Amino acid sequence: MSSFSTLLLDNSQWDLVLDANGNIARADPPYAIAQDVASAVRTFLGEVYYDTTQGIWSTSVNGKTLGKLPPAALLIELINQTALKVPGVVTVQTVITSFKDRAVTGNIQFIDVNNQTHTVNF
């Protein structure tokens, strides 16, 4: 299994969490991998200052402000490609359950290096 840990994020606020000793909490695999997938697909292009190529969301394309969601097939492919970049992820399948009012919901099902299946909802 991947031995990467990550900073634990609160599910409702998507912000750092403190452990019982008041230190920044960490998440270990397999939860860390699922959280990293969720973080990766929530990232806007240019948001990660040390690597502005990360991310799938953008507020503009070629200088034009976006007002609509991209086609569902394109969004699924972008999510799948992004999730596959997370260390420990082997295969990915994204299912969109709602795609309206500029909001997307669904889930990302992935298999990790230990052949375990995980689901991330969005």
Band the pLDDT of 1: cuts 50, 70, 90: very low
Do 110 and 37 form a contact (C-beta atoms < 8 A)? yes
Is the preceding peptide bond at 29 cis, omega within 30 degrees of 0? no
The model's confidence at residue 17, banded by pLDDT at 50, 70 and 90, is very high
pLDDT of residue 40 exceeding 70, the answer is yes
Least confident among 8-12, 81-85, 98-102, 115-119: 98-102
Predicted TM-score (pTM) of the model is 0.81
pLDDT tens track for 78-107: 999 999 999 999 999 999 999 877 778 999
Q: How far apart are CA 112 and CA 7, in angstroms?
A: 19
**CA–CA separation, 102 and 100 (whole Å):** 5
Q: What angle separates helix 72-84 from helix 31-42, to the nearest 10 degrees?
A: 140
- Cβ contact 11:92 at 8 Å: no
CA distance 57 to 45: 6
Instruction: Give the model's pLDDT for residue 80.
Output: 96
What tens digit of pLDDT does each residue of 43-92 get?
Answer: 887 788 888 888 887 666 555 555 666 788 988 999 999 999 999 999 99
Instruction: Kindly list the structural domains of the chain, giving each domain's residue range(s) and its CATH number in brackets, ordered by start.
Output: 6-121 (3.10.450)
